Amino acid sequence: MTTWFHLAIPVDDLEAARSFYGGVLGLEEGRSDKEWVDWNFYGHQLVTHAVDRAPGVGARNPVDGHDVPVPHFGLLLSIPDFHALASRLREADITFVIEPYLRFEGLAGEQWTMFLLDPAGNALEFKAFRDESQVFAR
C-alpha cells in the first residue's frame, strides 16, 4: 500500500484559498464542495475547510535565530524545487515570515527553509536538505 499524507486546515475564505493554493502555489484542485476543497499538495492530500474564523499562528519558537510560527506544516522538496517555489512566491509578492535561507550550514541537517502564511493565517514551511539522509540526523 502506498502511503500519503493527509492534512485538513481551516480557512475563512475558500476563494482566497483557491487563489493562494491554486494560483500562487500552483496546486491542482481536486474534489470540492461549498465548504471544502481538496488540493494535490505535491502528491499528498491537503483539504481547506471553510470555518467562520481561522485560528492563525498560535505562538513562535526560536530556531536558528528566527521566530518560527507554531503551528505550521509544509513539505520537504528537492533543492531545485525549493528554489523554484521561492522564485514563484517572490514573483507573486508573497511576504515571507522567514525569508528563504540556508539553515544549520555545515552541520547535521543542513537545509534550505522558508516560512509564509496563507490568506487565513496558516503557517507553511518548505525545506530542502542538502543531503536527504540527514532529515532525522542529530
Which CATH code, of 2.40.50.140, 3.30.720.120, 1.10.1200.120, 3.20.20.140, is assigned to 6-50? 3.30.720.120
Which CATH code, of 3.30.70.2740, 3.10.180.10, 3.40.50.720, 3.10.20.30, is assigned to 61-134? 3.10.180.10
Mean pLDDT, range 83-94, rounded to an integer: 97
3-state class (DSSP) for residue 83: helix
pLDDT tens digits, residue range 38-76? 999 999 999 999 999 888 788 999 998 999 999 999 999
Cell of 54: 481561522
pLDDT of residue 95 exceeding 80: yes
Cα(11)–Cα(28) distance, integer angstroms: 18
Looking at residue 19, its pLDDT comes to 97
Q: Residue 41 phi/psi, 5° resolution?
A: -95, 75
In the chain, CATH 3.30.720.120 covers 6-50
In the chain, CATH 3.10.180.10 covers 61-134
pTM: 0.92
Looking at residue 58, its pLDDT comes to 83
Number of neighbouring beta carbons within 10 Å of residue 85: 20
